[in-house]
Structure 1
Amino acid sequence: MQHYRQQLRTRRIYTAISIGIFLVVLFYSLQFANDANAGKFFERLPYFFDFIRSFVPDSPMEIFRAMFDLPSPYADGSLKYNYTADRHYITDTLYIPNFIYQLVITINIALVSTIIGSALAFLLCFFASTNLVGAGITRFVVRRIMEVLRAFPEIVIAGLLTAILSIGPIAAIIAITVHTIGALGKLFFEVVENSDMKPDEGLRAAGASWVERVRFAIVPQVLPNFVSYTLLRAEINVRASTIIGAVGGGGIGEVFRLAIGRDHAAKTYAIIILLLVSIIIIDQFSAWLRRRLIGQQSFEFGRGAA
């Protein structure tokens, strides 16, 4: 008992020392960051919410008008209140509001990137799994390719592609697809490596080919996790496409950058609300789709392991 108390006391001392070192490093890191920020961060911290307080639309209804391209009573000929100029007309009278149109572009970028990226990651992940191809050159090469693909953030790839391919959604699609292949590929092959190999051994004993073993022994086990990861990646890609849009990738990110840069409060809040609603809808749709594919019983308490 005395030995246990001594060990406990020693562990507490080491913990206290570690926390102390961490706090010292954190303090000097913040001080360095403040100096790198021209020494204004801590001085300006009390005014952190001043921008939000001043960035207020003339009326709450202005947010609604900006969202649906309705005429504004504050119209003075400037872009700030000229919501109707950006309508996308389908017929002479029927139109799509600009922000909703741009949001559809952003979601399309994310969905196309997710579909292409997840399909290629699905094909590559089996060649990166040790339990299917061993620890040879094939696994090594495929894993290194995935590491390279996910090494750079989407916005960096998009910036490079924008300089080559010009500004537009194509650069955003390629950038997000490249990162999706690397990120999902790693998650996929880790799931494959954790799968039960007994069905594979049975098929191998029956003389099945490698493709048949993967198709009938591995894929049925890993597919639910693959679906979950792909749906999660779709949500991430919606946010990524919004960010890339701000640097020339098109979609709602670009109009958001312009709105906040021009001090158009109503337009900015309208875009934020649309993004929030779209993320909630996508999240709910993903949950519904997972239930349809995996089965409702997997989500009921106490029955997942039955």
Structure 2
Amino acid sequence: MTRRVYTIIGVVGVLVALALAMNYANAANSGKFIERLPYMFDFIKNFVPRDPLEIFRAMFALESPYFDGSAKYDYTSSRVYLTDSLYIPNFIYQLIVTVNIAVVSTLIGGTIAFFLCFFAATNLVGAGAVRWFVRRIMEVLRAFPEIVIAGLLTAVLSIGPIAAIVAVSLHTIGALGKLFFEVVENSDMKPDEGLKSVGASWAERVRYAIVPQVLPNFVSYGLLRLEVNVRASTIIGAVGGGGIGEVFRLSIGRDYAAQTYAIIILLLVTIIAIDQMSGALRRKLVGDVSFNLGKASV
């Protein structure tokens, strides 16, 4: 009974907050928010390509029968030629750039987080100044979203993939660092005690007692973070980070329906593929037991 009352109170609270938020939005938009709410999906309804096949022509940079000299139907000029006859469609090339940003950022951020996490673990360094300082660094790095960091870096490093790599790498250090040191703190310390009793150094104890235990989970978290970084790299592209996000922003802003849908399809296929591959690798590393938690045993 008490749980039901709390549930009702919670639902009512959410509905009241939603009503207040909509009222504020309506007031901030001079009464046009609620008035225009029924037309929310008009853009999607009207944003359709001239021909469904145009989506695939745009995706693979094929000639369009509707080409009239405008950029809207000019899919061939943006081809990236490897040889005189062999080329990569521009959208696929930009997608490769985005995935590369995510992979490089994950490698850089994951490597730095790997080395820092041992100094943040209480069971390895105690509760001293070193642990406090390293944890505060990680908190600061993950406190700001990647897009905010990228926006600041573009003013220094100019527009391009470098700013995106730095932004995603910094956030990855903070995010993976926290996950890593929590894994370290939950590791079995008996091997560490054995090495310590025979005079092993701190570095040797970490290398031979802790790392073999935590490495499968580290790789699992790294693969999971790679999925997140692909999405983050796409979003950062919209603010000048390069890659598929930048061409997506230009396409939707110029009302290029076929090109926009082509990019959306490519992004969906890529994210699903990465999710499936990383999930399979993580399953091999940590075993099926970790993926079946909560399921009833048969």
TM interval, short-chain normalised: over 0.9
The answer to whether the Cα contact below 8 Å between 2:159 and 2:242 also exists between their aligned partners in 1 is yes
Alignment-derived partner of residue 40 in structure 2: 48
The answer to whether the Cα contact below 8 Å between 2:22 and 2:34 also exists between their aligned partners in 1 is no
Deviations 1:238-266 (A, max 9, x none): 11111111111110100000000000000
Match of 1:185, SS state, is helix
Residues 1:218 and 2:235 are matched in the alignment = no
Alignment-derived partner of residue 282 in structure 1: 274
Alignment-derived partner of residue 70 in structure 2: 78
Alignment-derived partner of residue 256 in structure 1: 248
How many residues are aligned here? 295
Q: Which runs of 5+ in 1 are unaligned?
A: 1-7
Residues 1:90 and 2:82 are matched in the alignment = yes
Alignment-derived partner of residue 117 in structure 1: 109
In structure 2, C-alpha distance between the alignment counterparts of 1:16 and 1:216, rounded to whole Å:
53
Match of 2:72, SS state, is coil
Alignment-derived partner of residue 58 in structure 1: 50
Cα distance, 1:37 vs. partner? 3.5
Alignment-derived partner of residue 230 in structure 1: 222
Letter paired with 2:196: R
Alignment-derived partner of residue 5 in structure 1: none
Does the C-alpha gap of structure 1 residues 14 and 290 become closer, same or farther in structure 2, counting only changes over 3 Å?
A: closer
TM-score, structure 1 as length reference: 0.90
Per mean C-alpha deviation after superposition, the further-off stretch among 32-41 and 181-190 is 32-41
Per mean C-alpha deviation after superposition, the further-off stretch among 201-210 and 140-149 is 201-210
Letter paired with 1:127: F
Match of 1:41, SS state, is helix
Cα distance, 1:24 vs. partner? 2.9
Match of 2:221, SS state, is helix
Letter paired with 1:264: Y
Q: Specify the structure having the higher radius of gyration (Cα).
A: 1
Alignment-derived partner of residue 106 in structure 1: 98
Q: 2:148 aligns with which of 146, 156, 170?
A: 156
In angstroms, what is the RMSD of aligned CA positions?
2.2
Letter paired with 1:151: A
TM-score, structure 2 as length reference: 0.92
Match of 1:239, SS state, is helix
Q: 1:201 aligns with which of 179, 193, 202?
A: 193
Match of 1:83, SS state, is coil
Letter paired with 2:202: W
In structure 2, C-alpha distance between the alignment counterparts of 1:298 and 1:139, rounded to whole Å:
29
